[in-house]
Structure 1
Amino acid sequence: METGAPGGRSTDQRTPLIVVCGLDQDQTAATAETVRAGAPGTTALLHHDLHRVGDGFLDKRVRHRDRDIDSTVELVHGCVSCTLREDLLPELRRLSATPGVEHIVLHLDPLVEPEAICWSLQQVPVDGRTVDEDVVVHAVLNAVDGARWLADASSEDTLADRGLGGGTDDERTIAQLAVGHAEFADAIVFGPAAEDGWTEVRTREVLRRLAPATAWTQLDGLDVADLLARIPDNARRGDVDGAHGPLLRGQPPMEPDSGVEVLLFEDRRPFHPQRLHEALDALLDGVVRTRGRAWIASRPDSALWLESAGGGLAVGDAGPWLAALPEQEWTQFADERRLRASLQWDEHYGDRAQEIVVITHDADAAEISRRLRAALLTDEELAAGRDVWAQHQDPFEWHSDDCSDEDPADADLDPARGSGGC
């Protein structure tokens, strides 16, 4: 079978995969079934249901030619991520090799993030090779409940607060899932609109900024072929960005609308670690999303990764700045990163820079910018030099997580770590 994915992909022999995700289980299931029925050719559907994960099991369904094959999968040493990897990935390979299967629809449980699955397709070997040698991500579709999505995307509720969760160590929030699903999508499928027109308008304005490189449609009357054809050429189609990848894809509206605004904070001088720590509170109220790279004076060799969704904030180690490494070691990093660094290179700081994107829906973006700018080193602090910077109190705890199969040359952060992992 020779297939060509839209958006300028080259023709190849891999089986196209359509990933369907969303928080509302019924709407996501209806979207996945509509896509299965409407996709060209014979399409198989795969779904792992996590509602019995607390009992140590996953329920798996494979639908092919209107036949449902149900089975139970036992958790691998209590880890949802490992179980999905060890069952889902081989199942995708098996379906891709099944005669007559021309497309596969992967219906994700609400707890499973599409970015983690796509990362696993590209990075986790099964029998010595990765599954993306057999399947190619055609599109990621996000089923969005227009009546609830904005409240979920700005919520402080954890999965446990909603009676959900992928394990005792799964501390993710509802906002993380809502925002992560939409941000990684190539197309958004809306269910019934919110009864409150103001909520509907604001939801769509947030999504225009969070996921600008997406096609939109309604579930009622969904035309699968038309939706897939309208996905922009610059959509990600399963591509996973590391911490030094683009902070926004596409061209989001930069002007405020309906109380929704995008703030791009950029500067060359470093943050004072303690003042930055205090300023981060401004990113937790009235903010839907924050993503960014920062450098702090006490750790000039390592980039700090900032990411928030709703009322939850994560801080992590984004790896070394290129300026902190011998030039012969730069080849281990992506060409795009090295090109961007060379174009923005500073005589004093190299590629070190503050680059933070904030999407607000109920906060003063100018006040957030003011607080971040006040956290930068003053002229006097800057002139004191690195020996003094190293003595600044540093409240950030940076650590690495070894539950990962990543190649450091390919990605700085492993999104699979956030899916109820080991």
Structure 2
Amino acid sequence: MTPDQTPDPRVPLLLVSGLTASPNAELAELLRMAGPGTAVVHHDLREIHSGVVRRRLRLEQRDQLTVLELAHGCVSCTLREDLLPLLRHLARMPQVRRIVVRLDEAMEPEPVSWAIRNVLVGDHPVIDDVDLRTVLTVVDCATFLADVTGDDALAERNLQASPEDERTVAQVALSQVEFADVLVLAGAATDAWTAAKASAILDRVAPSVSRVELSRIDGHSVLDAVPPDARRGEVTDMHGALLRGQPPVHVDCGIGLVTFTAQRPFHPERLHDALDVLLDGVVRTRGRAWVASQPDVAFWIESAGGGLGIGHAGPWLAAPDGPAWTDVSPERRTLASLRWHPVHGDRAQELVVVTDQTTPDEIDAALRGALLTEEELAAGPGVWQNYPDPFGDWHEEPCEDTETGPARHDATAANRKEDQ
């Protein structure tokens, strides 16, 4: 710190996420024991279907369990009604020097980080009181490969975050990993092949994220592993780069990486028919799509473990109601400039697919076959907007009026493979 810099008065905040309760609790305890004045908060959502959340707060000699009864049992309500006000309260207690939030296994750190930065508690967001220093995700090495390549729904493991939660285990596990600053590896894989294949997946979905072993760290050394360029809870720009770091492009243990790009729109019905290729033999899909029948809005597509999410990512810059260039991030402006088309502007297809049993060539062929043909392209937007559109009706999330997540969660159609 230089002499003219003022110390940040905010209380440091650490988020711990992961699919397995026991190692998550172990890491949170290591962080609690690392120094005096560390408060650890955990919300247990296992009874949220009944509108009940159990909150545990540990601070010095205090170990308090509180049963919360919510009018509507969901993560949004838990955040808005309890976690965010609690964080502000703790940050203003003089004995609290650091806060650790151990997220429930079903919670993804990105929407929590978004809420901390954007949801008002009183007149200000909680980020005015806390400094989100890092996101730590625990990876259970014994189950990770099966979790991210399987089709289990959270409900099948009693891990739902609300009665309406249709996410798959793979969707949550990969979201937790992708948003982390450090991956804390717990336990061991069942064999060398499983370990190698799991590592190949991590190399492609989180190439820039540090990895440490839970058995070899303490509450200080795990924080030393946070890289200088860590995102530290910064929410992903949905129109920014889809890859962080430099993932390997070769196939390793059957795991490959496909980057699909094109500067012509998808036919809505052919895209809908092609979505199965993103569900079978695929570990992860993330990216933006330009659909001919809805030319002014970018679609956001995510898939994992037989689960598919399709939502709106907001208007393209070239859309009539698109944002001004000065209102978007420098990264988005740069990417748009590199691909700008004299007629279609920044509209384009950009998808990143991590493959397993499906080959990269199969992915590319299926997606390319869903693009408009030369004849269809020549017909123009007036014709495109009259195409039958299976994406016209959007699923609405519960607590729609109090949404606490990034834009892509505003209208997400979550489907299982067997429902396609």
Show the counterpart of 2:15: 19
| Residue of structure 2 aligned with 1:264, choices 246, 259, 264 | 259
Show the counterpart of 2:384: 389
Change (3 A) 1:299 1:141: same
Please say if 1:240 is aligned against 2:235: yes
Which residue identity is paired with 1:382? L
Residue pair 2:148, 2:305 contacting (<8 A) in 1 also: yes
Normalised to the residue count of structure 1, the TM-score between the two structures is 0.90
Q: CA RMSD in A?
A: 2.6
Deviation at 1:392? 2.4
| Residue of structure 2 aligned with 1:219, choices 211, 214, 219 | 214
SS at match of 1:322: coil
Show the counterpart of 1:202: 197
Alignment of 1:370-389 (within 5 A): 370-389=365-384
Deviation at 1:181? 0.8
Show the counterpart of 2:273: 278
Which residue identity is paired with 1:376? L
Deviation at 1:334? 3.5
SS at match of 1:220: helix
Show the counterpart of 1:110: 105
Show the counterpart of 1:5: none
C-alpha distance in structure 2 between counterparts of 1:236 and 1:414, whole Å: 20
Residue pair 1:298, 1:394 contacting (<8 A) in 2 also: yes
Which residue identity is paired with 1:172? R
C-alpha distance in structure 2 between counterparts of 1:220 and 1:328, whole Å: 48
**Higher deviation after alignment, 51-60 or 297-306:** 51-60
Alignment of 1:380-419 (within 5 A): 380-399=375-394, 401=396, 403-404=400-401, 412-414=407-409
Residue pair 1:17, 1:106 contacting (<8 A) in 2 also: yes
Deviation at 1:251? 1.8
Residue pair 2:269, 2:390 contacting (<8 A) in 1 also: yes
**Higher deviation after alignment, 275-284 or 66-75:** 66-75
SS at match of 1:251: coil
Which residue identity is paired with 2:234? D
Show the counterpart of 1:36: 32
Q: Among all aligned residue pairs of Structure 1 and Structure 2, give the percentage whose two residues are the same amino acid.
A: 48
C-alpha distance in structure 1 between counterparts of 2:406 and 2:72, whole Å: 26
Normalised to the residue count of structure 2, the TM-score between the two structures is 0.90
Per-residue CA shift, 1:32-73, capped at 9, x if unaligned? 1112223x5531111111223233221111111143122211
- Count residues in correspondence: 410
| Residue of structure 2 aligned with 1:137, choices 119, 132, 138 | 132
Deviation at 1:143? 0.9
Change (3 A) 1:114 1:326: closer
Task: Structure 1 unaligned segments of length 5 or more: list them.
Answer: 3-8
C-alpha distance in structure 1 between counterparts of 2:14 and 2:321, whole Å: 42
C-alpha distance in structure 1 between counterparts of 2:190 and 2:177, whole Å: 21
Residue pair 1:147, 1:193 contacting (<8 A) in 2 also: yes
| Residue of structure 1 aligned with 2:303, choices 291, 303, 308 | 308
Show the counterpart of 2:81: 86
C-alpha distance in structure 1 between counterparts of 2:403 and 2:330, whole Å: 18
C-alpha distance in structure 1 between counterparts of 2:246 and 2:222, whole Å: 20
Show the counterpart of 1:77: 72
Task: Structure 2 unaligned segments of length 5 or more: list them.
Answer: 415-420
Change (3 A) 1:281 1:119: same
Please say if 1:186 is aligned against 2:186: no
Change (3 A) 1:416 1:80: farther
C-alpha distance in structure 2 between counterparts of 1:142 and 1:415, whole Å: 25
C-alpha distance in structure 2 between counterparts of 1:45 and 1:60, whole Å: 10
